[in-house]
């Protein structure tokens, strides 16, 4: 019974903290913890809706359609050899979001979040050719790196959100291991990829 409950909790964590939501949470954190909270509500809502459409809604719809056309289960889709097309679909959607933001002349550090997520996805595609990496942890690492990078740029104290993110990252990583989707190494490498991409591309976008 305890094992069943543990698996159920792990499934809930995996569903709630899908890697698709990482850029959206990054923008939400930016609008809450930095001086960007002073921006007009309409503008912040527009950015959040745009990010949601291109990084959550469109990728999920297209991947689910692809899965149904191939008559695959969610488990089959998670196999390393079957993950290439979902990655490509996600990359196309992220690229479209970045192009749209560029055309809207949004600030470079705002585009830096999407750029970091896009580059992390590209690295996942490359690594996935030989080894399965945890995209859930890529998202968690990206969020953690974003908080640290923006705290440096906008001079706010990140200690409490950072502590929360580290605890959450541990819970997500444990969930992926409990569900036997990834090994400890795949979880740690996934976190490192997301963290480094977020730190690098957000900081470089400020220069």
Alpha carbon distance 11, 172 (integer Å): 10
Mark 16-35 as b/e (b = at least 16 C-beta within 10 Å): ebebbbbbbbbbebbbebbe
Unique residue bearing structure tokens 């001086």: 35
| Per-residue confidence (pLDDT) for residue 17, from 0 to 100 | 82
- Tens of pLDDT, residue by residue over 85-124, are 788 888 899 999 999 999 988 888 888 899 999 999 899 8
Phi, psi of 124 (to 5 degrees): -65, -40
- Tens of pLDDT, residue by residue over 120-137, are 989 988 888 888 889 899
**DSSP-derived secondary structure for 125-151:** HHHHTTS---HHHHHHHHHHHHHHHHH
| Residue 10 belongs to domain spanning | 2-206
Alpha carbon distance 171, 193 (integer Å): 18
The domain total for the chain is 1
CA 67 → CA 9, 81, 89, 139, 166, distances in Å? 25, 13, 12, 22, 32
Does the pLDDT value for residue 167 go beyond 60? yes
| Per-residue confidence (pLDDT) for residue 78, from 0 to 100 | 62
Round the average pLDDT of the chain to a whole number and report it. Answer: 86
Phi, psi of 179 (to 5 degrees): -80, 0
Unique residue bearing structure tokens 């959206």: 24
Nearest to 15 by CA among 175, 189, 197: 175
Unique residue bearing structure tokens 């550090």: 109
Cα 99 versus chain centre, distance: 19
The pTM of this model reads 0.84
Q: What share of the chain is helix, strand, coil (3-state, %, to 5)?
A: 85, 0, 15
Nearest to 19 by CA among 112, 90, 89: 90
């Amino acid at each position: 019974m305890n094992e069943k409950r543990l698996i159920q909790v792990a499934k809930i964590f995996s569903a709630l903290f899908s890697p698709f939501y990482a850029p959206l949470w990054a923008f939400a954190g930016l609008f809450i913890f930095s001086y960007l909270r002073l921006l007009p509500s309409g503008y912040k809502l527009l950015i959040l809706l745009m990010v949601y459409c291109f990084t959550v809604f469109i990728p999920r719809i297209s991947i689910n359609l692809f899965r149904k056309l191939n008559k695959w289960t969610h488990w089959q889709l998670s196999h390393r050899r079957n993950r290439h097309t979902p990655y490509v679909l996600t990359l196309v959607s992220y690229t479209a979001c970045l192009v749209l933001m560029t055309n809207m002349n949004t600030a470079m550090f705002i585009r830096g979040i999407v750029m970091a997520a896009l580059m992390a996805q590209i690295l996942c595609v490359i690594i996935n050719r030989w080894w399965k990496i945890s995209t859930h942890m890529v998202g968690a690492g990206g969020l953690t790196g974003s908080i640290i990078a923006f705290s440096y740029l906008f001079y706010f104290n990140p200690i409490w959100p950072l502590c929360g993110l580290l605890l959450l990252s541990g819970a997500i990583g444990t969930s992926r291991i409990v569900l036997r989707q990834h090994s400890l190494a795949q979880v740690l490498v996934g976190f490192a990829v997301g963290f480094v991409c977020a730190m690098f591309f957000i900081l470089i976008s400020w220069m």
